[in-house]
C-alpha cells in the first residue's frame, strides 16, 4: 500500500475549544481504526490525514502533565472574565487560546510521512520560523523547550508560538498556537507553558500593527506543504460535518 500524503484541510473558523476537541477525537479515532483494520486486510485502505485551522474564543487549557497551580485565577474568576477552562490530553503544561491567534491541528498518520515525533515537532516549529522570516523576524528554538521564540539567550526572550501534541500509533492530534493579533493580557492569568522568566509576544506586537490572519495562515500553509512534501486538498466545513455526521 502506497502511503497517502494527501492532507485534507478544513478551516473551522471561530469555534469553541470543546467542539474542536470533539472533532479532533473523532478524526483521530477514525484514522487509528483504519490502521487496525489495515493490519488484517490483503488490500488495505490508505489512511487519511487532516489539518484543522481554528480560532478559539478565550480559553485556558491544561495539558496532561500540567500543574494546576500554573493557573493564577480560580475558575470562578475566569468565568467572570469570559474565559473557559479545559483539561485536555495533549502534552505540555498550560496555555491560552483566543481571538487573533492561529491554531493548527494536524491529524496526521505519520506512517504516511515519517515515524519520528521529534522531527514532526521540529517541522511544525520550522513552518512558524519560516513564516516569521517572511515578516523580517528571526524566530528560534529554545533548548529543552518546544515552540518558537524570539531573542533566546537574552533577558528579552519571548515566546510567539506554543506547541502541544498527542500521538498514538503514529497518529497525531493537537498542534500549535501562533500569536498573531492575540490580546497578550490574557497570559497574565497563567504561567505560560509552566515557564517563568520569559515573556510572551505576538506578530502584531513585534511589527507594531495588526495582521490579516488569512494572509499569515496562507504563508504558514506554504511552508507546511513544503516541509511535509504533502498535497493539500481543501474541504468545506459543511462537507466534513455532513460526512462525519457531527454537530458543531
The residues carrying an active-site annotation are: 193
- Burial class of residue 6 in the structure, from the number of CB atoms within 10 Å of its CB (0-12 exposed, 13-18 middle, 19+ buried): middle
Using an 8 Å Cβ cutoff, are 110 and 170 in contact? yes
How far is the C-alpha of 98 from the C-alpha of 59, rounded, in Å? Answer: 6
Going 143 to 146 to 151 to 157, the CA torsion angle's sign is negative
How far is the C-alpha of 48 from the C-alpha of 25, rounded, in Å? Answer: 14
Question: What residues contact 221, with CB distance under 8 A and at least 6 apart?
Answer: 9, 232
Using an 8 Å Cβ cutoff, are 193 and 181 in contact? no
- Structure-block grid coordinates of residue 34: 483504519
DSSP state at residue 14: E
Residues paired with residue 183 on neighbouring β-strands, in sequence order: none
Return the biggest CA–CA distance within the chain.
58
- Structure-block grid coordinates of residue 227: 516541509
Amino acid at each position: 500500500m502506497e502511503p497517502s500524503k494527501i492532507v485534507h484541510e478544513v478551516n473551522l473558523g471561530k469555534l469553541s475549544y470543546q467542539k474542536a476537541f470533539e472533532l479532533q477525537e473523532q478524526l483521530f479515532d477514525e484514522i487509528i481504526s483504519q490502521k487496525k483494520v489495515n493490519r488484517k486486510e490483503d488490500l488495505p485502505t490508505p489512511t487519511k490525514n487532516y489539518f484543522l485551522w481554528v480560532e478559539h474564543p478565550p480559553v485556558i487549557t491544561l495539558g496532561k502533565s500540567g500543574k494546576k497551580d500554573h493557573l493564577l485565577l480560580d475558575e470562578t474568576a475566569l468565568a467572570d472574565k469570559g474565559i473557559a477552562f479545559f483539561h485536555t490530553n495533549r502534552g505540555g503544561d498550560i496555555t491560552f487560546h483566543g481571538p487573533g491567534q492561529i491554531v493548527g491541528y494536524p491529524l496526521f498518520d505519520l506512517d504516511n510521512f515519517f515515524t519520528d515525533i521529534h522531527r514532526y515537532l521540529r517541522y511544525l516549529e520550522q513552518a512558524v520560523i519560516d513564516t516569521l522570516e517572511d515578516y523580517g523576524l528571526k524566530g528560534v528554538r529554545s533548548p529543552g523547550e518546544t515552540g518558537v521564540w524570539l531573542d533566546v539567550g537574552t533577558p528579552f526572550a519571548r515566546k510567539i508560538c506554543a506547541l502541544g501534541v498527542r500521538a498514538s500509533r503514529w497518529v497525531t492530534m493537537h498542534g500549535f498556537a501562533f500569536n498573531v493579533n492575540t490580546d497578550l493580557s490574557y497570559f497574565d492569568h497563567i504561567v505560560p507553558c509552566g515557564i517563568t522568566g520569559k515573556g510572551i509576544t505576538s506578530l502584531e506586537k513585534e511589527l507594531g500593527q495588526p495582521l490579516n490572519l488569512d494572509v499569515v495562515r496562507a504563508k504558514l500553509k506554504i511552508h507546511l506543504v513544503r516541509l511535509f512534501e504533502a498535497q493539500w486538498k481543501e474541504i468545506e466545513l459543511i462537507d466534513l460535518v455532513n460526512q462525519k455526521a457531527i454537530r458543531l
